[in-house]
């Protein structure tokens, strides 16, 4: 029969004829056949099955062998014996290699025919050892999957004796770690996934039969994925095992894993990264659950370095999985946890922000039934992150536009989500090291690393750096060898101007300039820090001069040399010459930021006047009460009121903490009770005359009694740089809370300030001469808290004709579009004249948040050009000094009306044709922006409000105009050798760091050492963090430690 069959399959007869003859051969199996004939047929059919040239030969061999094995089972059992099976698996068959999957398929079919034979026991025992050997040889996915199918159908062939079962599971897991997918077509990829699923299904069956093998198998999985061997990259196919692990084991396994002291941080980092890669495995259930469980487990044991490194390394990969619907849901769950828990810094969120708009647009157009639900979840996540890290309007505008038609979660829900997600909420054990910074900004400017709640300092430093004249004078000082605060500021400015780093960490300057009452790691008031810093620099320079003056005077030659040096280097250890002018004797801070105010009180009975002058470094503007805020500012207010006062070098106007109108301020950033105001209205309010009467009557020395009086505050000396602070942090007496006033203030690009100068001594007035210009010391941490005052309108009829019409910008002291005065100067009977000084905006410090103890500071700065310093001559106007009906209101109206004329042409950025003048400094992030963005940021982001503004004087006569102290306008001073050496050394160090990082990335050695842990007093704070609860102006968290990032 074997000869007939062999001749048939090799003949040239038509295929139908051959098939008909094969059917006859199959039917003949029922007849009696000798054992020799059976063995010959089994040999022939085996050859046809394994080596058949075509499908007909293989199919014929299969049909004949099955039919004869069914009727002649004993003969077939003697054919498929132990030696035959071992020979196939160890030596192969003819030209077939022993690893050929066809051999496994053939054995599988033979075992099905031997299922009820006693010989099956012997064959199964032989297969147990061979199967273990095959698995240890790391077979390819195709062979391993065929073997898995065989063992699934015949579990008696699975190794079990002498501990071989556990070893088999471990080796099979390790074999899966070597599975590599070489598929390039979709059908090939599907076949690969099917093969992997067969192997994982085998393991699932073994774990169910032998639960004791599960834990060692999982330990083997972790050993594989935690390997730091650069030559071995485990296969993603291990993800298919996760769905077979009982979820009730999560707690025990994660706790055991994270508490194991033998697991190094580098290994844990590798393992977590590879588990996150598993999100790409299609149809793998519960991968997201295990990834999140491990993230939470690491947070519980404070392995924050691993979490930071892994999040920054993998967040973009997780986000990219959202493009694929088959793995989208799991990826979204992991992405949400990673972003919401990473609350110490916006860096992770900002890595995915650039891709969010494109993703939303793609999901909207894919037409899948799950897309709508995904968009709702994704939008909620985005709103939570923008709430947490507010203060980045340049990044978020496009996202808000893309999701504007999707519902926004309530503020209470956002707070709940953030509070439940943070892994930094119970610990401050983050290192404040350098973040993974991108390349230097296209602006050419350098950012400042947030050292842990130091955005208040960073914003002030960038503001001073953008004060061009101040920066150039600081860099030109000869301070070699000194250890003063000015020297540290000079070094910091030099690094900001010349370092190759994208962001510089100002640790030394922070330690030297931090006020003693500022708690390290806590958020502080940036205006308070600015005043303290300027005062320190001022007093330090005075102290140095005093020490130098106490020394014996040198010879004339030396004195001449010192005179030159003094003019070139204010603040250096040189004595100013005796012939120096008053301007030369001033400190650098006085020359740049110092102004003077005159407070005059006139008795309304005898008309005697008392005057007093005081210095100031900033004007602190209170918000007008509701009843007067949007009416034209009046010449006088009566009722219970206080005048503007100069306290700690700042000018403010306000009353006590029980002010009624403050209690009605909006409790939330969402709504405002009043429309926007313009900045000059607040200046007018500060300088408005006031009537002192009733309980506030003035004690007149001439009348020797309490008398009604009029009090007026005037600027008598304008600073080169006018610092304006908006008093946004008020005290709510009803709720006993300090809250933020969220009124939108429109900021003009140009503004005019009325300045009254004395030409002659008034003959009949009492004088209270102020002492020499000394900036008072700021010694209270609460000095920044000010209240706006409650006022009553009066004398409306008398003064209405004298005021400027703020709605049209027209008045007696009107200005043109360039800010130049058009009225000629007038001198009054008291020998004073009023000049309107024009200023141009140079920088704005924004506060994002709900209180001074929370939120985030960032700065808008402007690159000043020579055109910005030019202005028409400031023509003087001479109103009566104290009379409200003789020109006083004209002076007060000039700031408002100057804005009306100038801001109209500037609001749309007409002065900024290149759109490159304005720069946004946000800690390490530095980007180009526009003046339009500066003006509209509060309308887009209600918690982001202007707080500190700096204006630069325009026109001639400035202390820094033209060439002063050897500095030419528009020219940066040459860098001194000591500064250049320090920068060169740091730049070399930076290049070395970049090279080491490149090597580390090439070796894929992501480990704990990749996270910087510089020394410093803030080592217990997270990098760029503003506290346990996160930051970014989340607003409204009722926790004492609520800080900012």
Q: Could you give the residue numbers annotated as active site? A: 455, 856
Quickly list DSSP for 467-488: -HHHHHHHHH---TT--SHHHH
Cβ–Cβ under 8 Å, residues 881 and 832: yes
Neighbour count for residue 151 (Cβ, 10 Å): 26
CA dist 714 → 632, 667, 687, 757, 825 (Å): 19, 35, 6, 10, 17
Which residues are CB-neighbours of 618 under 8 A, at least 6 positions away?
Answer: 527, 530, 531, 593, 649, 650, 651, 723, 724, 725, 948
Residue identified by tokens 């202390």 is 959
Neighbour count for residue 197 (Cβ, 10 Å): 17
User: What is the H or E stretch that residue 746 is in?
Assistant: strand 745-746
Nearest to 860 by CA among 932, 941, 911: 932
Backbone angles phi, psi at 758, to 5 degrees: -85, 125
Nearest to 279 by CA among 312, 319, 336: 319
User: What is the H or E stretch that residue 209 is in?
Assistant: helix 186-209
CA dist 887 → 811, 812, 820, 833, 882 (Å): 11, 9, 19, 11, 9
Which residues are CB-neighbours of 961 under 8 A, at least 6 positions away?
Answer: 869, 969
Q: Residues 11, 13, 19, 25: is their CA dihedral positive or negative?
A: negative
What's the N-to-C CA distance of the chain in angstroms? 88
DSSP structure class, residue 396:
H
Cβ–Cβ under 8 Å, residues 430 and 1026: no
User: What is the H or E stretch that residue 546 is in?
Assistant: helix 526-550
Quickly list DSSP for 664-726: TS-SSSS--SS--EEHHHHHHHHH--EEE-GGG-EEETTTTEEE-EEEEEEEEE--SEEEEEE
Could you tell me which residues are beta bridge partners of residue 856?
848
Cβ-based burial of 286 (10 A; exposed 0-12, middle 13-18, buried ≥19):
middle
Cβ–Cβ under 8 Å, residues 856 and 1032: yes
| Residue 875, both tokens | 């023509």
Classify residue 831 as left (phi > 0), alpha (psi -120 to 50) or beta. left
Neighbour count for residue 326 (Cβ, 10 Å): 11
| Residue 602, both tokens | 């006139």
| Residue 114, both tokens | 């031997």
């Amino acid at each position: 029969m074997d000869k007939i069959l062999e001749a048939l399959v090799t003949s040239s007869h038509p295929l139908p004829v051959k098939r008909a003859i094969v059917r006859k051969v199959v039917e003949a199996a029922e007849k009696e056949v000798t054992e020799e004939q059976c063995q010959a047929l089994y040999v022939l059919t085996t050859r046809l099955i394994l080596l058949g040239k075509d499908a007909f030969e293989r199919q014929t061999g299969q049909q004949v062998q099955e039919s004869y094995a069914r009727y002649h089972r004993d003969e077939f059992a003697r054919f498929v014996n132990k030696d035959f099976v071992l020979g196939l698996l160890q030596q192969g068959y003819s030209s077939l290699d022993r690893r050929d999957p066809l051999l496994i398929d053939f054995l599988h079919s033979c075992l099905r025919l031997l299922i009820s034979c006693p010989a099956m026991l012997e064959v199964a025992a032989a297969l147990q050892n061979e199967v273990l050997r095959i698995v240890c040889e790391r077979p390819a996915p195709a062979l391993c999957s065929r073997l898995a199918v065989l063992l699934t159908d015949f579990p008696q062939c699975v190794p079990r004796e002498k501990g071989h079962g556990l070893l088999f599971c471990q080796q099979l897991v390790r074999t899966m770690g070597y599975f590599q997918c070489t598929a390039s077509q979709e059908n090939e990829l599907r076949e690969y996934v099917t093969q992997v699923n067969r192997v994982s299904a085998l393991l699932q069956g073994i774990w169910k039969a032998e639960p004791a093998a599960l834990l060692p198998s999982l330990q083997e999985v972790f050993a594989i994925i935690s390997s730091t061997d650069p030559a071995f990259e485990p296969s993603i196919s291990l993800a298919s095992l996760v769905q077979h692990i009982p979820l009730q084991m999560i707690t025990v396994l994660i706790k055991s894993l994270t508490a194991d002291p033998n697991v190094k941080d580098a290994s844990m980092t590798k393992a977590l990264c590879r588990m996150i890669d598993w999100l790409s495995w299609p149809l793998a259930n519960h991968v997201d659950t295990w990834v999140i469980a491990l993230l939470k487990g690491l947070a519980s044991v404070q392995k924050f370095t691993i979490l930071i490194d892994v999040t920054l390394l993998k967040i973009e990969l997780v986000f990219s999985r959202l493009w694929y619907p088959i793995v989208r849901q799991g990826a979204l769950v992991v992405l949400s946890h990673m972003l919401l828990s990473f609350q110490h810094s916006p860096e992770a969120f900002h890595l995915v922000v650039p891709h969010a708009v494109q993703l939303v647009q793609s999901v909207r157009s894919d037409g899948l039934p799950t897309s709508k639900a995904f968009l709702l979840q994704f939008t909620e996540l985005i709103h939570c992150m923008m709430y947490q890290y507010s203060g980045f309007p340049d990044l978020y505008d496009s996202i808000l536009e893309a999701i504007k038609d999707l519902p926004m979660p309530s503020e209470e829900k956002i707070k709940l989500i953030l509070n439940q997600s943070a892994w930094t909420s119970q610990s401050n054990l983050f290192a404040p090291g350098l973040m993974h910074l991108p390349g230097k900004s296209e602006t050419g400017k350098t950012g400042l690393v947030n050292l842990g709640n130091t955005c208040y300092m960073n914003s002030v430093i960038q503001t001073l750096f953008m004060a061009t004249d101040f920066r150039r004078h600081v860099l030109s000082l000869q301070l070699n060898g000194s250890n003063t605060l000015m020297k540290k500021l000079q070094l910091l400015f030099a690094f900001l101007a010349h370092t190759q780093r994208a962001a510089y960490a100002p640790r030394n300057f922070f330690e030297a300039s931090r006020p003693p009452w500022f708690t390290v790691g806590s958020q502080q008031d940036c205006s308070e820090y600015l005043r303290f810093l300027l005062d320190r620099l001022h007093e330090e320079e005075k102290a140095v001069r005093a020490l130098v003056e106490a020394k014996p005077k040198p010879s004339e030659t030396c004195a001449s040399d010192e005179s030159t040096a003094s003019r070139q280097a204010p603040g250096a250890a040189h004595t100013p010459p005796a012939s120096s002018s008053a301007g030369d004797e001033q400190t650098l801070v006085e020359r740049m930021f110092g102004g003077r105010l005159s407070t005059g009180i006139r008795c309304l009975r005898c008309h005697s006047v008392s005057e007093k002058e005081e210095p100031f470094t900033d004007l602190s503007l209170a918000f007008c009460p509701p009843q007067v805020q949007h009416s034209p500012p009046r010449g006088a207010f009566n009722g219970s009121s206080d005048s503007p006062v100069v306290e700690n070098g700042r000018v403010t106007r306000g009353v006590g903490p029980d002010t009624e109108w403050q209690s009605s301020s909006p409790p939330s950033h969402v709504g405002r009770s009043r429309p926007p105001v313009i900045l000059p209205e607040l200046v007018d309010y500060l300088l408005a005359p006031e009537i002192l009467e009733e309980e506030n009557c003035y004690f007149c020395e001439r009348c020797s009694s309490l008398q009604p009086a009029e009090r007026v505050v005037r600027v008598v000396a304008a600073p080169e740089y006018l610092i304006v602070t908006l008093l946004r942090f008020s005290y709510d007496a009803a709720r006993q809370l300090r809250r933020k006033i969220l009124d939108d203030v429109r900021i003009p690009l140009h503004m005019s300030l009325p300045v009254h100068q004395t030409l002659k001594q008034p003959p009949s007035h009492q004088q209270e001469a102020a002492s020499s210009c000394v900036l008072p010391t700021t010694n209270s941490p609460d000095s920044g808290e000010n209240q706006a005052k409650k006022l009553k309108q009066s004398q409306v009829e008398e003064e209405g004709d004298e005021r400027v019409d703020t709605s049209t910008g027209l008045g007696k002291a009107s200005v043109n579009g360039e800010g130049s005065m058009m009225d000629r100067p007038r001198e009054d009977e008291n020998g004073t004249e009023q000049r309107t000084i024009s200023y141009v905006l140079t920088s704005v410090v924004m506060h994002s948040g709900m209180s001074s103890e929370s939120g985030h500071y960032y700065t808008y700065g402007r690159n000043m050009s020579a055109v910005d310093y030019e202005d028409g001559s400031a023509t003087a106007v001479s109103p009566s000094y104290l009379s409200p009906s003789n020109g006083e209101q004209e002076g007060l109206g000039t700031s408002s009306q100057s804005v009306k004329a100038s801001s109209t042409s500037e609001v749309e950025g007409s002065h900024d044709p290149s759109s490159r003048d304005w720069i946004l400094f946000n800690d390490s992030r530095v980007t180009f922006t526009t003046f339009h963005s500066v003006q509209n940021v509060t309308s887009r982001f209600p918690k982001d409000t202007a707080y500190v503004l700096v204006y630069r004087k325009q026109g001639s006569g400035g202390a820094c105009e033209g060439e002063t102290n050897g500095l030419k306008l528009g020219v940066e001073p040459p860098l001194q050798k000591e500064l250049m050496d320090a920068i060169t050394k740091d730049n070399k160090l930076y290049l070395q760091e970049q090279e080491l990082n490149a090597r580390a990335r090439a070796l894929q050695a992501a480990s704990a050492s990749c996270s910087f842990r510089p020394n410093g007093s803030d080592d217990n704070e997270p990098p760029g963090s503003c506290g346990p609860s996160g930051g970014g102006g989340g607003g409204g968290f009722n926790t004492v430690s609520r800080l900012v990032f």
